[in-house]
């Protein structure tokens, strides 16, 4: 994140030195994009906050730690719907593993978490349109299943 | 944003803010009563998301805005457009892995690349790499789950989303326009 801010600051400074009017146009464009998605994004994030708060880590642990196909399916579904920053998802995954969740189940959870965003669909659709957003998420879900199956084959 | 867009009525403009208001109210309620766990967790989640969003999005949009005015369409077309082949895939994956942040921060970049002549497949591969292969996140993953897990997941994910990127491009009609959430120009 610090890198991102540094790069942005450097780019902005270089751009200002090179051409002030062009820079202003660019900043204005970026700002307009940001403001146009902010309401949808705020709604989505608040909705996910409300949903996630209803699910406790203990519930997660009990379901995902079991054996058979059920933890797998739950991991795929929860990962698809949930939205979680990586600095929370990975520690959680480590806890789940310590409680008996297998690596393929963890891969299913993490991959859908990262690649599939059911909750963020309204935001994605604002950028890419519903058609692309729905197709991309559907295929990403299939891809996550493939990755998880591959993990089962590779790591046993 | 096209200039002639009609203003929406105020109920429609307020609708997205209902959930944030509810979440804030629940959090405030639990803070006032001092003992309500659900409200406290809602507040904690909302706070985390707000911090994450505030730390990545403004910078991301600024960069996209600058990218839009400075990078000529021809450059993107040559390196990431039709006929860019494996090199094009390499560049978008490299670009994505060096970034950090939630997936929704990558959408404005995806739109900017698309409008500048990057092929849809490369845009989708970019999004795939952004979601699964970010280097800052990988270091985190190795720390918590070990390099075996990380290596296996990465090695399996890369070919999967490259294939999915091309598949997705074929599923969509040629010349599809993006709504693009305002801003970026085609120039």
Question: With 50 as the cut, is the pLDDT of residue B71 above it?
Answer: yes
Query: In this structure, is the dihedral angle defined by the CA atoms of residues B135, B141, B143 and B148, taken in order, positive or negative?
Result: negative
Q: Are B103 and A120 in contact (CB under 8 A)?
A: yes
**Minimum-distance CB partner of B131 among A11, A114, A128:** A114
Residue B38 has pLDDT above 90, yes or no: no
Examine the pLDDT at B2 and tell me if it is beyond 60: no
Q: Tell whether A79 lies on the interface with B, counting CB pairs under 8 A.
A: no
Helices B37-70 + B107-115 axis angle, to 10: 20
Q: Do the beta carbons of residue B36 and residue A2 sit within 8 Å?
A: no
CB neighbourhood size of B187 (10 A): 9
For residue B179, give the nearest of A25, A126, A139 by CB distance. Answer: A126
Provide the token pair at B50: 């707000």
Mean pLDDT of B74-85: 88
pLDDT of B6 above 60: no
Residues of B in contact with A10 (CB under 8 A): none
Domain ranges of chain B: 1-58, 71-187
Instruction: Determine the Cα–Cα distance for residues A63 and B51; give it in Å rounded to an integer.
Output: 30
pLDDT bin (cut points 50, 70, 90) of residue B7 is low
Answer yes or no: are the C-beta atoms of B109 and B60 closer than 8 Å: yes
DSSP state of B116: T
Over residues B42-46, the mean pLDDT reads 88
**Is the per-residue pLDDT at B40 higher than 50?**
yes
């Amino acid at each position: 994140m610090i890198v991102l801010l540094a790069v942005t600051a450097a780019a902005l400074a270089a751009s200002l030195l090179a051409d002030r009017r062009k820079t202003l146009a660019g900043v204005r464009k970026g700002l307009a994009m940001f403001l146009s998605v902010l309401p949808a994004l705020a709604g989505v994030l608040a909705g996910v906050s409300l949903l996630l708060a209803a699910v406790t880590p203990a519930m997660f642990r009990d379901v995902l730690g079991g054996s058979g196909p059920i933890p797998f399916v739950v991991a795929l579904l929860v990962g698809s719907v949930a939205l979680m920053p990586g600095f929370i998802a990975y520690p959680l995954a480590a806890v789940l593993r310590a409680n008996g969740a297998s690596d393929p189940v963890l891969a299913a959870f993490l991959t859908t978490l990262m690649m599939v965003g059911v909750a963020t669909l309204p935001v994605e659709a604002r950028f890419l349109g519903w058609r692309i957003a729905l197709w991309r998420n559907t295929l990403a879900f299939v891809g996550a299943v493939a990755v998880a199956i591959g993990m089962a084959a590779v790591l046993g | 944003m096209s200039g002639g867009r009609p203003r929406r009525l105020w109920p429609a403009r307020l609708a997205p803010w209902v959930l944030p208001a509810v979440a804030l109210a629940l959090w405030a309620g639990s803070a006032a009563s001092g003992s309500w766990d659900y409200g406290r967790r809602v507040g904690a989640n909302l706070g985390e998301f707000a911090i994450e969003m505030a730390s990545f999005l403004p910078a991301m949009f600024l960069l996209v805005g600058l990218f839009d005015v400075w990078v000529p369409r021809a450059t993107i077309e040559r390196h990431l457009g039709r006929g860019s082949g494996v090199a094009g895939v390499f560049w978008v994956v490299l670009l994505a892995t060096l970034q950090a942040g939630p997936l929704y921060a990558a959408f404005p970049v995806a739109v900017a690349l698309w409008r500048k002549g990057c092929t849809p497949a490369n845009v989708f591969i970019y999004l795939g790499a952004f979601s699964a292969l970010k280097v800052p996140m990988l270091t985190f993953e190795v720390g918590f789950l070990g390099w075996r897990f990380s290596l296996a997941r990465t090695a399996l994910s890369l070919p999967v989303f490259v294939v999915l990127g091309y598949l997705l491009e074929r599923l969509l009609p040629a010349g599809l326009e993006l709504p693009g959430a305002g801003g970026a120009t085609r120039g």
